[in-house]
Amino acid sequence: MRAESDPASSDTLGVLRARGTDVVQFLQGQLSNDMSLLSPARSLLAGYHNPQGRTIALLQLVQIADGDLVMILPRELIAPLIGRLSKFILRAKVTLAEESASWRVTPAVTATDAAAGVTAAPVAHALPAALGAVTRAGETLVVCVGEAPPRWLLVAPSAAPAAPPSGCAAAGPQDWRRMQIAAGVPQVYAATSEQFVAQMLNLDALGAIAFDKGCYTGQEVIARAHYRGRVKRRTQRFVTRGPCSLNTGDTGALADGRVFRVVEAVQTADGRCEFLAVAPLIVAAQASPEHARAAAPGTLVVEAQILPLPYVLDKSEGLD
């Protein structure tokens, strides 16, 4: 089954700005990562979840100054997110505003073979090399969101010069998607918002969850999955064996009967589809026949090969 709409990739990113003396404390009680780690030199990836631990949005947080930060996420989720967060502000000194029109967010890779997303030369010293590191290049905040290959988000006021810093170049939407998929980095759109518990998106493996911080929305479910159980369904990386078109939110079944839901997808040059999808882990399917049952009539069955991820998943059984 196909999703109603397929988000365009990186060009849909927008900016939600949060300001106020209480902004860090407020977001500490709402997001899955530890806001005390955020600084002008360090960005954070964090999830915003509902009380059932399901991910509403995935945010890249960048601090501009004390009490002033931006959250980068798909534009289509910003208005709903403001609506949800505003209910909890109460007397806290926090203001939230969509500022997508005032900021330019540009995915970037090394200038060497930028179109192919391949790194063949050392990264310029001015560019941050450590995951989460932030540097300034004039008015542009350069945020490292990937190390292999190096990837950055360039966050700048709309009126600032559009030329990227020396050593990097803007990445095309398809190339950016392909590299994010290869890195196992998910994105959440309207089609998949509130569909997956945090660990199903591998947010624990990506450092987007702080298990030693205090309470936040959805924390009880997420912590229980971590400490008492295991996750049977995880985001995994696949490539179809033949020409195929999949969009975010699409559902189907693999040839072995495991049902999947697409998190992110990109077409390859030969018409195949490389995609991230939440599906039962093979060990869970082998141990639990209900995860490997025959697909229901009318289900899209996809012949696909599983591809490696650059991080390790816990393959024990537990939370469904």
Within a domain: residue 248? no
Task: Answer yes or no: is 155 within a domain.
Answer: yes
CA angle 96, 98, 102 (to 5 degrees): 125
pLDDT tens per residue, range 13-40: 999 999 999 999 999 999 999 999 999 9
Flag whether 244 is in a domain.
no
146 assigned to some structural domain:
yes
- The total number of structural domains in the chain stands at 1
Within a domain: 191: no
Query: Is 5 inside any structural domain?
Result: no
pLDDT in tens, 259-317: 999 999 999 999 999 999 999 998 554 545 555 455 566 788 999 999 999 999 865 54
| CB 40, CB 63: distance < 8 Å | yes
Residue 114 lies in a domain: yes
Contact in structure between 216 and 30 (CB atoms under 8 Å): yes
Q: For 43-92, what is each residue's pLDDT tens digit?
A: 999 999 999 999 999 999 999 999 999 999 999 999 999 999 999 999 99
Q: Which residues of 66-78 are buried (b: 16+ CB within 10 A; e: fewer)?
A: eeebbbbbbbbbb
Cβ(149)–Cβ(179) below 8 Å:
yes
Host domain of residue 165: 103-173
150 pLDDT band (50/70/90 cuts)?
very high
Query: Is residue 126 domain-resident?
Result: yes
For residues 103 and 156, the answer to whether their CB atoms sit within 8 Å is yes
Contact 200, 16 (CB under 8 A): no
* Residue of 53, 6, 26, 46 lying closest to 266 (CA atoms): 6
